[in-house]
Amino acid sequence: MAHDLMRGVGGGKPFLLMEQSPSVSNWHDYCALKRPGVMRLWSWQAVAHGADSVMFFQMRRSIGACEKYHSAVIDHVGTGDTRVFREIAALGKELEKLGDATLGASVEARAAVYFDWDNWWALIHTAGPTTDLDYKEQILDYYRAFYDLNIPVDFVGAEDDLGGYRLLVAPVLYMVKEGYDEKIRRFVADGGIFVTTFFSGIVDEHDLVVTGGYPGQLRDILGIWVEEVDALPRDKENSFIYNGSRYPARLLCDLLHTEGAKALASYQEDFYAGMPAVTVHAFGKGKAYYVAARSDAEFYNQFLQDVCKDDCGIWPLLMQTRGVEVVLRKNEKGSYLFLLNHNDAFSRVWLEDGCTDMLSGEYIHGGREIKLAPKDVRILKKE
Amino acid sequence: MAHDLMRGVGGGKPFLLMEQSPSVSNWHDYCALKRPGVMRLWSWQAVAHGADSVMFFQMRRSIGACEKYHSAVIDHVGTGDTRVFREIAALGKELEKLGDATLGASVEARAAVYFDWDNWWALIHTAGPTTDLDYKEQILDYYRAFYDLNIPVDFVGAEDDLGGYRLLVAPVLYMVKEGYDEKIRRFVADGGIFVTTFFSGIVDEHDLVVTGGYPGQLRDILGIWVEEVDALPRDKENSFIYNGSRYPARLLCDLLHTEGAKALASYQEDFYAGMPAVTVHAFGKGKAYYVAARSDAEFYNQFLQDVCKDDCGIWPLLMQTRGVEVVLRKNEKGSYLFLLNHNDAFSRVWLEDGCTDMLSGEYIHGGREIKLAPKDVRILKKE
Amino acid sequence: MAHDLMRGVGGGKPFLLMEQSPSVSNWHDYCALKRPGVMRLWSWQAVAHGADSVMFFQMRRSIGACEKYHSAVIDHVGTGDTRVFREIAALGKELEKLGDATLGASVEARAAVYFDWDNWWALIHTAGPTTDLDYKEQILDYYRAFYDLNIPVDFVGAEDDLGGYRLLVAPVLYMVKEGYDEKIRRFVADGGIFVTTFFSGIVDEHDLVVTGGYPGQLRDILGIWVEEVDALPRDKENSFIYNGSRYPARLLCDLLHTEGAKALASYQEDFYAGMPAVTVHAFGKGKAYYVAARSDAEFYNQFLQDVCKDDCGIWPLLMQTRGVEVVLRKNEKGSYLFLLNHNDAFSRVWLEDGCTDMLSGEYIHGGREIKLAPKDVRILKKE
């Protein structure tokens, strides 16, 4: 997510990873070694998400001061006869093989996640309704579902154009900056799909509450009115039923009334049992979804899968294999599919189409499963 | 307890609750909504304990600054069409019905709890014997027993007259201010019942230890000498047997010798097994009790019940129903019994005497049970 | 350990315990009373480890300020009629009986533990590889094994002569001060046995890393090269098999290669399974051991027992009785064996040789078991 976010900040252009760590960082509580293969895996992961360079910190391990136990390409021993040095040298050889094939390539996404630092800071500084609300975690809830589904996403900010996207997800869109509601309104009216959550549409860009009923300027787009917000401690949860399955409602539960929207799920407990927990509103040619409480990974996966498939026609890059990350970069030379096996075990991935393995040079026929070693990486050029 | 304490600070006169919260406060970790009926219940609770007014904070929810998520009579939506507004309006209607009936009424108590801020501050600033001693919790231990027993209490300070009381309870009377021992001495000599605990009679009002053996100036009244004080960590306890039941001894255990007092209970464990844990001393026409360790709610309930009944002739206002608070206010117009159902379920209360329901106007015959809805309130004018 | 360390700081000369506490200290979270017999036991413990005087803080309990609840010889009651006073008076009588017998006596140890404050401070200020490394705990790991084995130890610093010792244990010898490696080198070359651990030989006395491969200047003595250091969080452990038993490897695990040393144990898990966890290197007439990870008390007991017996010919003072501490002091008048029963139960100790009980005057025949009461102390003059 950090890589996608950085690519988004740069407007989708390739970026440079400034400080890859050869092995341990020294500032963790417990500075575990990077296990064999992990430095390579994470380096290719950066490339997969849009990096054109991966630089290392540090070349030589310093002998003094606060980073003397941060790992380095050349350790205190001063020779190249170390595991860490050998792994880096081997990665260099692979880069030679790949050459400039992926340089300048971009990641194509039809789904966007809204991320805004002012929104984050405003949330940090609210007094109430809960101290447990962490904007990054809320973003990660939705991002992780896309990640698990092998669906590429871009991060967009308030200034970014929404033109190329079918889907805009804006978790906890607490602060609606001047004109941004209108941007969303046009996006949805023109056929876009918009998803937002509890505690959205609350303040303007000066952190002042927009009166007239939450979610403020988004109220007409979402077709709802949020009357109250209930905060739940960590050991307490409500629940709702969505598409036949029960999911938890946690953290904050909006108590809302529909004003044109349709309830897709309702709370099951407490005095607001029966009130809507998930809503959808047809607006112009598009739709606007509202998720009124925090839920869990199973819900986010199911919900975004439904929205992507049924409303947006967005399909996964590949069928999902647990622990195997799939990313696609494209440039004028071709399309490159990165398969990153984060598992400690062999993993199998189904390939529909034939392609060329850029590191081995080998051609791989489609319509079969390929096997990835633990922590292994494949870069496949599509036909 | 906060209401009773504030009434005590004001010398028993009616008080004004300045800031009732319509629903959420914004400064909790988790700002849960006040459930339906709770704002009404807690408002009447203040009246029951002596409030003549209940004011709300805030009328309109502010749009900026640190209390913008504190609840208000009028929410950010700006209309009266909210649950919270409707509950407040309904409470207003009830107040109209009650009129000035309870204005100026007082709470009559024959038991008093001593509470002194200087004592509190001195306890906060001791180094040793335990960091877990919290004066408020010690007061609450005894207050809660009175509350559960439906026995009204007043809070008194060092300046207050003890004339009207049969019973004075002074938990952790660590600091005995100049002349206060003499006040207690006269109170007991004249027939009053006095209860105090471990770590009492230690310092004078300048926070200097009174030498000559703990509990200092109270030693002759209590008829004991405390030789040592043992501090127990949270996971450790001793025990004692009182009236045939075993109760825990926690926090601090005084190792004491009787000097005229009689042991009612003795420690069961450790090297001080057999030493007295609860004592009583006949002094003049009265009695002085000493509880040498912290115990639990079951002990406090049993012990205070025994003392109230056997020594003081103090009887509960009503037979106890778990979760239903019972308070009595009296003025020249009559006696008003407040029944406050804190339970989330229907509760039954036995009424001995007939009375008039001040909110419904209905007459209720005595000698029968009445039923209270969850969170419901009754104000009954006694015949 | 504190007593042995203080004796070591003073170069082995008798010391004076400045502030024995008669009973409670006031600055603990929970100031538990010293149980009957404990003040006496701990006073004789100080004498056993080299104290010629035991002074008390405080004579009279103060009535004000922050230590007014620290125990005293004379309590706030102001009389001698207290348990604490009686115990101190009885101890005084025992001291009269003992007279000047043990004055000036020294503790004779053939094993030394290296302890260095600069090393400690350097470890506190490292950033990485783990925040859980506590130098004192590492020292205590080894000290406790000697203690359990009834083997006397001295603490030595960088300036102290190693002449009289067979064994030098230097846990986490992180900082090797100028010339200290040479001191160790000569000690081992001349037949001494040296034990050190993970994260040793890293920096010089200016806290700068010694390049050329860990453990720096100790590399030739230990016959190993440490390539990497893995940090394990608290809930994770590796393991190794030493002499047929499996022991845990915790905290830090060095990944090392032998360079002349012999592996006595190897890691059982993770990618470094099979790498040495304990090594020994024959160097000159002596040996140098390296323990590459933290383990548990069972390992330290077994390992030091083996080293003491097989390599050093160091034997326990007495056969071990759990909870009974055994210390020997010698002067020109004789040898005094202190038996200190820390148990709350009677304990039996096997005496090989006859001796005189210095407190009772009684002669005790050898070749039999003697019985110690809970918390009791015997001072036995050897024949």
How many CA within 13 A on the CB side of residue B213? 18
Contacts of A84 in chain C (CB under 8 A): 228
Cβ–Cβ below 8 Å for B23 and A228: yes
What is the average pLDDT across C191-212? 98
State the average pLDDT for chain B: 97
pLDDT score, position B218: 98
CB neighbourhood size of A241 (10 A): 15
Please say whether the dihedral angle defined by the alpha carbons of residues A115, A121, A124 and A126, taken in this order, is positive or negative: negative
Indicate if ipTM > 0.85: yes
Q: Do the Cβ atoms of A218 and A181 come closer than 8 Å?
A: yes
Q: Do the Cβ atoms of A21 and A71 come closer than 8 Å?
A: yes
CB neighbourhood size of A16 (10 A): 13
pLDDT score, position B383: 78
Which amino acid would we find at residue A243? Answer: N
> For B33, which of A126, A210, A228 is closest by C-beta distance?
A228
pLDDT score, position B59: 96
Chain C within 8 Å of A35 (Cβ-Cβ)?
Answer: yes
Per-residue pLDDT of chain A (383 residues; tens, 9 = 90+): 999 999 999 999 999 999 999 999 999 999 999 999 999 999 999 999 999 999 999 999 999 999 999 999 999 999 999 999 999 999 999 999 999 999 999 999 999 999 999 999 999 999 999 999 999 999 999 999 999 999 999 999 999 999 999 999 999 999 999 999 999 999 999 999 999 999 999 999 999 999 999 999 999 999 999 999 999 999 999 999 999 999 999 999 999 999 999 999 999 999 999 999 999 999 999 999 999 999 999 999 999 999 999 999 999 999 999 999 999 999 999 999 999 999 999 999 999 999 999 999 999 999 999 999 999 999 999 97
Contacts of A69 in chain C (CB under 8 A): 126-129
Rg (Cα) of chain B, in Å, rounded?
A: 23
Residue A382 tokens, joined? 């599509």
A365's CB contacts (< 8 A; 6+ apart) are A354
- Chain mean position to CA C346: 25
Chain C within 8 Å of B129 (Cβ-Cβ)?
Answer: yes
Contacts of A208 in chain B (CB under 8 A): 63-64
B145 vs B143: CA distance, rounded Å: 5
Which amino acid would we find at residue B382? Answer: K
Chain B within 8 Å of C257 (Cβ-Cβ)?
Answer: no
Please say whether the dihedral angle defined by the alpha carbons of residues B16, B18, B23 and B28, taken in this order, is positive or negative: negative
Which amino acid would we find at residue B352? Answer: E
Task: Kindly give the residue spans of alpha helices, DSSP state H, lying in chain B.
Answer: 2-9, 38-48, 83-98, 117-124, 135-148, 180-189, 219-222, 297-306
pLDDT score, position C383: 78
CB neighbourhood size of A213 (10 A): 21
A129 vs B69: CA distance, rounded Å: 7
Contacts of C70 in chain B (CB under 8 A): 128
What burial class does residue C299 get, using C-beta atoms within 10 Å of its C-beta: 0-12 exposed, 13-18 middle, 19+ buried? buried
Q: List the one residue out of B271, B193, B175 whose CA is nearest residue B227.
A: B271
**Nearest CA distance, A257 vs chain C (angstrom):** 48
C276 vs C292: CA distance, rounded Å: 8
Q: Chain C residue closest to A69 (CA)?
A: C128
Q: List the one residue out of B316, B291, B330 whose CA is nearest residue B153.
A: B316
Q: List the one residue out of B267, B368, B378 whose CA is nearest residue B327.
A: B378
Phi, psi dihedrals of residue C286, rounded to the nearest 5°: -115, -165
- Chain mean position to CA B83: 32
Give the DSSP per-residue string, C31-83: -PPPPTTHHHHHHHHHHHTTEEEEEES-SB--SSSTTTTS--SB-TT-SS-SH
Given a contact as 3+ CB pairs under 8 Å, which chains touch B? Answer: A, C
Cβ–Cβ below 8 Å for B225 and C68: no
Q: Chain B residue closest to C70 (CA)?
A: B128
Q: How many CB pairs under 8 A join B and C?
A: 75
pLDDT score, position A383: 78
Coil/strand/helix, residue C227? strand
Cβ–Cβ below 8 Å for B29 and A132: yes
Place of tokens 């040079």: A361
Which amino acid would we find at residue C41? Answer: L
Q: Do the Cβ atoms of B107 and B49 come closer than 8 Å?
A: yes
Condensed to tens digits (0 to 9), the pLDDT of residues C58-104 reads: 999 999 999 999 999 999 999 999 999 999 999 999 999 999 999 99
Cβ–Cβ below 8 Å for C209 and A64: yes
Chain A within 8 Å of B70 (Cβ-Cβ)?
Answer: yes
Helix A135-148 / helix A297-306 crossing angle, nearest 10 deg:
60
Interface of C with A in 224-243 (CB under 8 A): 225, 227-233
> For A69, which of C126, C211, C212 is closest by C-beta distance?
C126
